[in-house]
A and B are shown apart, each in its own frame.
Chain A
Amino acid sequence: MTGKVIDLIPGFALGALSDDEAQRVRSALADSADCRRELAEFQEVVALLAVAGPRIPPASLRQRLLDRIAAD
């Protein structure tokens, strides 16, 4: 089942898509100004979550810590 590519953009902005889906979005971005505008907006949402969302560290921080102490 393949939906409309524009519906994938919120998930793309969050980095939550599968590789195939992300590739579909990247192709669509090249051709469609609507898709680019849509992505720009959802990226603003993600940025606001980062600077002003709940004060929870991003998931990536845990791995950064574990990599760092493994190299310590």
Chain B
Amino acid sequence: MPAPSETYPTDSDRVLVGRVAGSDQGALAELYDRYGSTMYAVALRLSREPAEAEDIVLETFTQAWREASRYRSDLGSVVAWLTVICRSRALDRLRARRRRDRLGETLQVAGGELVPALGRRPPTADQDLEREERCERVTAALETLSAPQRKVLELAYWGGLSHSEIATHLGEPLGTVKTRVRAGMQKLRDSLRPYFPEHEG
């Protein structure tokens, strides 16, 4: 695991934000460990682009870092405060994207095929549907794995751990971990193969 901060887990959210206001980097790390995934989910719902959602989360916690002294616990919970920041950073980006798209269309009209790729078009309803279906298939595929297989893949992919780090983390033999990673990935490949690009219609 990305080293969880040892010092702060017992702090309440409010105390934690107070430490962040005092420029305590460990406290910000703990705040991220508590709410990073939640903010990522918020960002992804608005943006739909994983890479952009990551940037939005970065901006959210950077802003929290700079403005922690403005947090008022009497006005709401820490997670609500972070969510407001996150939504507003995401909406800024969506608005900027729409402006680029409009500009792109104007230039396309004016200049023929000169600038086809300047703006990114918002996803069509069909693309949304396709994306939803793919998410469901991936979730379903993950659910067909055994719990230990799913665990090692989570640690490898979302935890960024190597085989030997996973073995240490779980207290399991290295060979067992390798076997589980391989079997889990093979099972995912079999169930997801119809969704590989070259197989799509």
A interface residues (Cβ-Cβ under 8 A, vs B): 1, 7, 10-11, 13-18, 41-42, 44-46, 48-66, 68-70, 72
Q: Which of B94-118 contact A (CB under 8 A)?
A: none
Q: A15-B160, A61-B36 are in contact. List 19 more A-B contacts (CB 8 A).
A: A1-B175, A11-B156, A11-B163, A11-B181, A14-B153, A14-B181, A16-B163, A17-B163, A18-B164, A52-B131, A52-B134, A55-B41, A57-B40, A58-B54, A58-B157, A58-B160, A66-B28, A70-B25, A72-B65
B192 CB to closest chain A CB, in angstroms? Answer: 5
Complex CA gap A65/B164 in Å reads 26
* A54 x B139 contact (CB < 8 A): yes
Which single member of B28, B50, B185 contacts A14 (CB below 8 Å)? B185
B138 CB to closest chain A CB, in angstroms? Answer: 4
Q: Which of B3-62 contact A (CB under 8 A)?
A: 25, 28-29, 32-33, 36-37, 40-41, 44, 50, 53-54, 57-58, 61-62
Which single member of A51, A55, A57, A66 contacts B134 (CB below 8 Å)? A51
* B58 x A16 contact (CB < 8 A): no
Give chain A's interface secondary structure class: helix
B76 CB-CB contact with A under 8 Å:
no
B interface residues (Cβ-Cβ under 8 A, vs A): 2, 25, 28-29, 32-33, 36-37, 40-41, 44, 50, 53-54, 57-58, 61-62, 65-66, 131, 134-135, 137-139, 142, 153, 156-164, 166, 175, 178, 181-182, 184-186, 188-189, 192-193, 195-197
